Amino acid sequence: MLGHRALTVQDYLTILKRRWWILAIPAIIFPIVGFALTFLVQAQYISQTLVLVEQQKVPESYVKAVVTEDLSGRLASMKEQILSRSRLQPIIERFNLFANGKLSMDERIDLTRKNIGITPIQSEIARTNGLPGFFISFKANDARTAQLVCGEIQSLFVSENLSDRAASAAGTTEFLKSQLADAKAKLDEQDARLAKFQQTYMGKLPGAETSNMNMLTTLNTQLDAATQALARMEQDKSYTESMLSLQQAQQSQSTERGAPAPQTQLLELQQLEAQESELTARYTDDYPDVVTVRRKIKELEQKMAQAPAASAAPLSSAPKPTDSLSVQQMRAQLRAMEQGIAQKKRDQAAVQAELRTYQDRVASSPAVEEEYKSITRDTSTAQAFYDDLLNKLNQSKMATDLERRQQGEQFRVMDEPNLPEEPAFPKRSVFALGGFAVGLGLGLFIIALLEYLDTAVRNERDIWAFTKLPTLGVIGFAGEGEPVVTKRSLFGRRSPDVTSGSKPLMNAGG
C-alpha cells in the first residue's frame, strides 16, 4: 500500500508482522557472507612507532638555536625528502615490496608512499609554534615486513634531522663568515677614511674649539705685547737717534762756532712724534693730550720749514773714524736697537701668522664638524654591523658545535616499531556488521517494493483510499458464513483480499 495513502505506525507494524521473514533472511545471510569475505581479502598489517622531539639540552639564554624553522615545516620538508624516489627505491628493493611481477617500479614507489603514514601529535607540553612529536606507520601485507620498513623510515627521519640541522648550522656559519669579511673590509675602509680626515683637519676637529679659542686669546695677548714692545723699542731708537744727532751737532758746533741748531728742533720733533705714537696706542684721536701733541708737532714743523735748510748729515749707525767715543757708543746702541726691532717685527709677524691660522681653524670648524659627524656616523654604523655579525658568528659557531655534539633539538624514538599481531585490514567484526547493515537495508528495500506493488484492500482506510467513498457500516462475521476468499502469495502464504478484523466491509457507492 505504499504510495497509495499515508501509513500509520500500526500499518508499519502490520507490514513488518506480515513480511518479517523478508527482513530476517538477508540480515542473517549477509553478515555470514561478510565474515567469509575476510578470509578472501589480502590482509594488511600496520606497524607504528612514536618519535618525540626533544628540545636542546643547553638553555637558549646561553646558546641560541640556529635552526628556528617551525617543526611542522621542517617535518614536511623531511617527509618530501624521505619519500623521494632516491630514498624509497633502495628500501623497496631491499625488502622486495609489492613484488608481484606486474607492477612497475614507479607504481611500487607510489604504493609505498601511500602506505607510509606521518601523523603529528599534539599535547599540552607542546610548544606554541611546534609539535612535540609524530607517529610513523607503514602498512604491508606481512607483519614482519611492516615492522622492518617502519624502522627503516624511522631511522631515515632521525638521521635526516641530525644531518639537516648540522648542515643548516654549518651553512649559517659559513654565510656569517663571508658577511663578516665584507663588513671588516668596509670597516677598515671607514677607519682609513677617518684617519685621513683627522690628519688633514688636525686642530679643526670637534672638541678643539675651546683650545683654539684659548690659543687665539693667548696669541692676541702676545701680539699686543709685541706691538707695545715694538713701539717702545722704536721710541727708544728715536730717542737714541735724537741723542746721536745732538752729539753730532755738538761735535759740529765745536768745530764750527755760530752755526744754527736745527738738530735740536729735529730732536724735539722726534720726541713729540714718539709721544704721539704712545698716546694714540692707548687713547682716541679726541683725547686732549693727543690733540695738544699733534698741535705742537704741527707748529714745530712749520717753524722748521721757515728756518734755513741746514746741511744735516743723515743719521747712521755705521761707525765713522771721526766720531767721538760717546758717539760711537750711541751708534752701537742704535745698531743693537735696530736689530732688536727687526727681531721683534719678525716675532710679531710670526704671531700674526699663527693668529691667522687659529682664526681659520675657528672659522672652518662648523663645516669640518658636519663632515666629521658624517664620517664618524658611517664608521659607527660599520662598527656596529661588524660587532653584530661577529656576535652572531660566535653564536653560530657554538650552535654548530652544539649540533655536532648532538646536544641540540633532536628526535628521540619513544617506541620502537611494533610487530602487529592482527591485521589492520580486513576487520572481521566490521565486515560482519557491514553485512548485517547491507542485509537489513536490502530486506527493507524488498519489503518497500512489495508493498508498493501490492494493491490488496485490507481495511476501511484502503477502501477510502481507492474509492473516496464513506463507509456506511461494518458487519462482522458470525463464523458460519462463506469463508473469506484468499489468494496465495509468495512462499504459499494466503491473505484475505478484504478484511477488517473479523468484519466484512460495506461501502456506499455513487
Return the domain boundaries, the chain: 9-41+427-453, 45-181+405-415
For residue 494, the model assigns a pLDDT of 46
- Write down the pTM of the prediction: 0.54
Alpha-carbon torsion 266, 267, 271, 274, what sign? positive
Q: What are 495's strand-pairing partners?
A: 487
Q: What is the pLDDT of residues 256-268, one digit of tens each?
A: 555 445 667 777 8
The dihedral over CA atoms of 452, 458, 459, 462, expressed in degrees to the nearest 10, equals 30
State the average pLDDT over residues 152-174: 88
HEC string for 444-468:
HHHHHHHHHHCCCCCCHHHHHHHHC
Q: What is the pLDDT of residues 115-124, one digit of tens each?
A: 999 888 866 5
Flag whether pLDDT at 315 surpasses 60. no
Higher pLDDT, 405 or 378: 378
Pairing state of beta strands 45-54 and 133-140? antiparallel
CA distance 403 to 140: 35
For residue 178, the model assigns a pLDDT of 93
Domain 45-181+405-415 has CATH 3.30.420: no
Cα–Cα distances in angstroms (integers) from residue 234 to residues 228, 245, 274, 291, in the given order: 10, 16, 8, 22
State the average pLDDT over residues 3-11: 79
Number of H helices and E strands in the chain, helices first, is 11, 8
Alpha-carbon torsion 213, 215, 216, 222, what sign? positive
For residue 182, the model assigns a pLDDT of 94
What's the N-to-C CA distance of the chain in angstroms? 24
CA distance 302 to 310: 15
Alpha-carbon torsion 183, 187, 188, 189, what sign? positive
Q: What is the pLDDT of residues 343-353, one digit of tens each?
A: 999 998 999 99
Q: What is the pLDDT of residues 80-130, one digit of tens each?
A: 888 899 999 999 999 988 887 678 889 899 989 999 998 888 665 545 555
CA distance 186 to 184: 5
HEC string for 372-440:
HHHHHHHHHHHHHHHHHHHHHHHHHHHHHHHHHCCCCCEEEEEECCCCCCCCCECCHHHHHHHHHHHHH
CA distance 281 to 297: 17
Q: What is the mean pLDDT of the chain?
A: 81
HEC string for 292-327:
HHHHHHHHHHHHHHHCCCCCCCCCCCCCCCCCCHHH
For residue 123, the model assigns a pLDDT of 61
For residue 465, the model assigns a pLDDT of 77
State the average pLDDT over residues 363-368: 88
Flag whether pLDDT at 237 surpasses 70. yes
- Containing H/E element for 121? strand 116-121
Flag whether pLDDT at 369 surpasses 70. yes
For residue 405, the model assigns a pLDDT of 77
For residue 202, the model assigns a pLDDT of 85
Pairing state of beta strands 133-140 and 486-488? unpaired
For residue 209, the model assigns a pLDDT of 85
Task: Show the cell assigned to 14.
Answer: 502490520
Pairing state of beta strands 116-121 and 410-415? unpaired
Instruction: Indicate the pLDDT class of residue 317, thresholds 50, 70 and 90.
Output: low
The dihedral over CA atoms of 322, 324, 328, 333, expressed in degrees to the nearest 10, equals -140
Radius of gyration, alpha carbons of the chain: 64
Identify the CA nearest to 161 among candidates 271, 289, 238, 67.
67
For residue 260, the model assigns a pLDDT of 47
Q: What is the DSSP string of 255-274?
A: HSTT---HHHHHHHHHHHHH
| Helix/strand/coil for 76 | helix
State the average pLDDT over residues 166-182: 90
Phi, psi of 49 (to 5 degrees): -140, 155
Angle ∠(144,149,150) on CA atoms, nearest 5: 95
Q: What is the pLDDT of residues 386-409, one digit of tens each?
A: 999 999 999 888 888 887 777 777
